[in-house]
Amino acid sequence: QILSKAYAVLSDAEQRAIYDEQGRVDEESEALRGERDWQEYWRLLFKKITVKDIEDFEKSYKDSEEELADIKAAYMDFEGDMDRIMESVLCADYTDEPRIRKIIEKAIESGEVPSYKGFIKEAKQKMIARKRRAEKEAREAEKTKDELGLGGEDDLKALIQSRNKDRKKEMDDFLAQLEAKYGNNAKKGGKKTAAKKGK
């Protein structure tokens, strides 16, 4: 509502002139008083993001100057840690790793970025573990996509809702584990204290 009021004032020449001159707005003006469907209002200003929009962005981003700069920045920020580089570069999945690795190697050779030991001497087991983890995530994503029957306009919304449910379940499970672990210890601790008092 605050954003819409600001937008209403700034987009109306008369309202804006009053604000520029006096530093206040006419709260009784029709533009600020009207009831509206906020979701519909913001949908007029910002279109829905679909899976196709993301795929189109991915096509334009990969092998672009922007991606190149992001890869070099991630390499510098994480001092060559490929786990963190692969997590932070936009649109990157495990199949992109050889390509990203070549980009970094080329930048090291040309002296654009320093040579970090974590990158040059990364253990083979770490690479294998990263690939297995990524493949498992890809399988889970495909399974979720099939379960949700994705393929329409609301793909992204359905995917986000599904992920939120999964995260809530993970958090509930984690809290239950903590309760089971530390709840029992608290009870045991109480018994020990009582025993000491008896002595």
Q: How big is the chain, counted in residues?
A: 199
Q: Determine the average pLDDT of the residues in 81-86.
A: 95
- Spatial separation of the C-alpha atoms in residues 60 and 64, rounded to whole Å: 7
What single letter denotes the amino acid at residue 19?
Y
> What pTM was estimated for this model as a whole?
0.54
Q: Which of 88, 86, 92 is nearest to 127 (CA)?
A: 86
Please tell me the distance from the alpha carbon of residue 8 to that of residue 59, in angstroms, as a whole number. Answer: 37
Query: Nearest-CA neighbor of 66 among 55, 77, 74?
Result: 74
pLDDT digits (tens, 9 = 90+) for 85-109: 999 999 998 889 999 999 999 999 9
Q: Over the stretch 28-66, which tens digit does the pLDDT of each residue have?
A: 665 555 566 767 777 777 888 888 888 899 999 999 999
